[in-house]
Structure 1
Amino acid sequence: MPQPQVTRRTALASLIAAAYAGGLGTGRAAAPERVNVGFFTETKPTMIAKGEEWFAQGLGGPITWTEFASGAEINTAMVAGSCDIGLATGSVATASGISQNLPFQLVGVVDNIGPAEEMTVRASTNIRTPADFRGKKVATPFGSTSHFRLLGFLKTNNLTQRDVTVLDMRPAAIQAAWARNEIDAAYVWAPAKSKLLEAGGQVFRTWDTLDRAGYVVADLIVVRNAFAASYPDAIVGFLKAYGRALEMWRTQPDAAAAIVARQAGVTPQVAKADMEEYDFISLADQMSARWLGAPGQPGAFAGVLKGTADFLVEQRSIRSAPGVEVFGRAIHTEYLQRAVA
């Protein structure tokens, strides 16, 4: 059979077609050259996908990983354009960012935190009741879900920051201050929480009472709007990678804990115990009415973000909170839908 003649016109047409197939002309590219991901060192399945490089494979490009102390820091990096994806950023920082019209969208849920973040008190201080916190020093990373919970604990127990000295510290600084006997308690997440417990701490249970009072906290996945517009396929791949890590934790918990332990600097036993405290939400369940909802139909979590923002206004952390519909519009589950399909 004779071969078709290749002319400059047909060659140009082929190049244009290939460019459109790769995303050019639509403002989208097939894969990013490099992705800036903000993360936290935590005992979670996120560390499996990070350590095994599943996230990089899903994104289709190399990752620059930057560790942050709080979601508030990720918000700042999003505005600066130096963070494309915030991995496991807290619902408090997310509610704050949406309220301030920061340039990111919510694309996934990592977990319902539950008891995984909790008040840890030094056993030698004999703190037994909320009243025993008067005159004590409590550390937490400001702008985090732990900070939100701590403020909720004070409010629901008729305590103020005149009664309790609240200190802003990153998790590593909390551990150092604890070792120097400079603080009496801390509200923080694992592995810092686990290390405080190993060093003479004990849990002062607050999470269930706070959940019932409306101080629900979760860890989320947020994406910078410009990145999402350019690389939607990369977001789908990133979510699939996390789904793979969740499946490993569900089906091979010991192997999963061993990987997380290496990434977080703890023993496999501690990693497994820490992860058992979280309620990790499957990709499919994230699209339920209880959580993010289906594309175009925001779920109940939009209301949780609204309630969180209202509390932040009351605390004078942000100036105002928009209506629940604004939070609904910031939730984009079309990527989850494709990842599950």
Structure 2
Amino acid sequence: MPAFPSRRTVLLAAAVALTASTTAACGAGGGDAGGRTTVRIAYQAIPNADLVVKNQKLLEKALPDVDVKWVKFESGGDVNTAVVAGAVDLGLAGSSPVTKGLSAPLNIPYKVVWIHDLIGDNEALVAKPGIGSVKELAGKKVATPFGSTAHYSLLAALTAAGVDPSSVRTIDLQPQDALAAWKRGDIDAAYVWTPTLSELAKDGKVLVSSRQLAQQGKPTADLGVVTDAFAAKHPEVVTAWIKAQDRAVAQARNAPDEAARSIGAELGLPADEAKRQLSELVLLSAEEQTGPDYLGTPGAPGKLAANLHDAAVFLKGQKAVDAVPDEAAFGRALAVEELGRAAN
């Protein structure tokens, strides 16, 4: 079988290089250089409001005295690695990588401060023609980025279909690498997200989506995390970041064409296609996220804590984490005070 190229090494090398340069200038975990604060933000090519914040420079406009550095990653697993390396302060990672990050052996000192989106039909399992069900994947080669929400959903889909995950040849590929392998005929299926998902679906069959798995009790989301150290040292930056995200969500809801132009510019997509992909996600305002179904409020963590705990139990069963923190630990990892300050 031919070797599968991966961009992960290049991405992480870039993150480490950024760490070295930023740390030299402003200290570990962001900091001050000549009176200026630096915040390093991890982002991914996902058609949600985070790309609106980046493209329209909403945070830079809100914080003219802060140096904002955006660093692109291809999966939440890579974001976790970068956080451990000290390369980023804030960033987007899926709920599965965040669950792993908060569990042993990683035990990353960060907390969830935002829900970028609830994952729906924008993330799915696509198979080559001739494969009509998840059950038929036994003995097949399936690509997905290891440690991502897609990986978690793939394991959940296989388990729900009665397929032993060990009977599937699961290959660790980032979305664009999975697309290249698909075109070469090296894989039989892939669990990935848009925009790559849209390319695979052109000549493949969607077997199950993350929206369907959520309805079966395995919800996933893209989450915003902030390191404990940065949140403590620069609460004003965290507040401004949340407010910028909230503005972008409002724009995506009330002026979707404008938001889609920004998302399309970031992804290299026509605005109409970006708008379609945006519509596949569920976006929540800051006020909504303080509700009991999501992050909650001080003293009353929301259901997100239980969802992360349930995911950790599942991942422990798959031997993807060593130990499962109790639900209260996940509740303490929800940045409800920071969210509450920005929502008011």
Indicate if the aligned counterparts of 1:305 and 1:327 stay in contact, CA closer than 8 A: yes
Deviations for 1:86-133, whole angstroms, at most 9, x for unmatched residues? 12x1111111111233111111111110222111222xx322122222
Which structure exhibits the higher relative contact order, with contacts defined as CA atoms closer than 8 Å and separated by 6 or more residues?
1
Counterpart of 1:113, as a letter, is I
Q: Which of 256, 268, 273 in structure 2 is aligned with 1:270? A: 273
Counterpart of 2:266, as a letter, is Q
Indicate if the aligned counterparts of 2:48 and 2:263 stay in contact, CA closer than 8 A: yes
Instruction: Confirm whether residue 244 of structure 1 aligns to residue 247 of structure 2.
Output: yes
* Counterparts of 1:32 and 1:319, CA distance in 2: 40
* Counterparts of 1:149 and 1:58, CA distance in 2: 37
* Counterparts of 2:324 and 2:82, CA distance in 1: 21
Q: Which of 270, 283, 286 in structure 2 is aligned with 1:283? A: 286
Q: State the partner residue of 1:235.
A: 238
* Counterparts of 2:299 and 2:63, CA distance in 1: 24
Indicate if the aligned counterparts of 1:111 and 1:219 stay in contact, CA closer than 8 A: yes
Give 3-state SS (helix, strand or coil) of 2:260's partner.
Answer: helix
Give 3-state SS (helix, strand or coil) of 1:279's partner.
Answer: coil
Please, which runs of 5 or more residues in structure 2 have no aligned partner?
1-30
Indicate if the aligned counterparts of 2:264 and 2:270 stay in contact, CA closer than 8 A: yes
CA RMSD of aligned residues (A): 1.9
Q: Superposed, which structure 2 residues align to 1:159-174 within 5 Å? A: 159-174=163-178
Q: Which of 301, 305, 308 in structure 2 is aligned with 1:305? A: 308
Q: Which of 321, 324, 328 in structure 2 is aligned with 1:321? A: 324
Q: TM-score, normalised by structure 1?
A: 0.86
Q: State the partner residue of 1:24.
A: none
Q: State the partner residue of 2:188.
A: 184
1:327 shift after superposition: 0.5
Indicate if the aligned counterparts of 2:159 and 2:165 stay in contact, CA closer than 8 A: no
1:175 shift after superposition: 1.5
Please, which runs of 5 or more residues in structure 1 have no aligned partner?
1-26
Q: State the partner residue of 1:103.
A: 109
1:55 shift after superposition: 2.5
Indicate if the aligned counterparts of 1:38 and 1:67 stay in contact, CA closer than 8 A: yes
* Counterparts of 1:59 and 1:188, CA distance in 2: 34
Q: State the partner residue of 1:226.
A: 229
Q: Which of 191, 197, 211 in structure 2 is aligned with 1:193? A: 197
Q: Which of 320, 325, 341 in structure 2 is aligned with 1:338? A: 341
Q: Which of 71, 82, 86 in structure 2 is aligned with 1:77? A: 82
Give 3-state SS (helix, strand or coil) of 1:280's partner.
Answer: coil
Q: State the partner residue of 2:123.
A: 117
Deviations for 1:15-49, whole angstroms, at most 9, x for unmatched residues? xxxxxxxxxxxx999x8522111110121121111
Question: Which moves more between the two structures, 143-152 or 243-252?
Answer: 243-252
Deviations for 1:251-272, whole angstroms, at most 9, x for unmatched residues? 1111211111110112212211
Question: Which moves more between the two structures, 230-239 or 113-122?
Answer: 113-122
Give 3-state SS (helix, strand or coil) of 1:38's partner.
Answer: strand
Counterpart of 1:68, as a letter, is F
Deviations for 1:137-189, whole angstroms, at most 9, x for unmatched residues? 21110000000000011111111234321110011111211221211211111
Indicate if the aligned counterparts of 1:116 and 1:278 stay in contact, CA closer than 8 A: yes
Residues 59/302 of structure 1: CA separation in 2 closer, same or farther (3 Å cut): farther
Q: TM-score, normalised by structure 2?
A: 0.85
* Counterparts of 1:67 and 1:28, CA distance in 2: 23
* Counterparts of 2:320 and 2:251, CA distance in 1: 39
Counterpart of 2:109, as a letter, is P
Q: State the partner residue of 2:49.
A: 45
* Counterparts of 1:238 and 1:142, CA distance in 2: 28
* Counterparts of 2:169 and 2:158, CA distance in 1: 11
Indicate if the aligned counterparts of 2:114 and 2:339 stay in contact, CA closer than 8 A: yes
Structure exhibiting the larger radius of gyration computed from Cα positions: 1
Aligned length: 310
* Counterparts of 1:32 and 1:127, CA distance in 2: 56
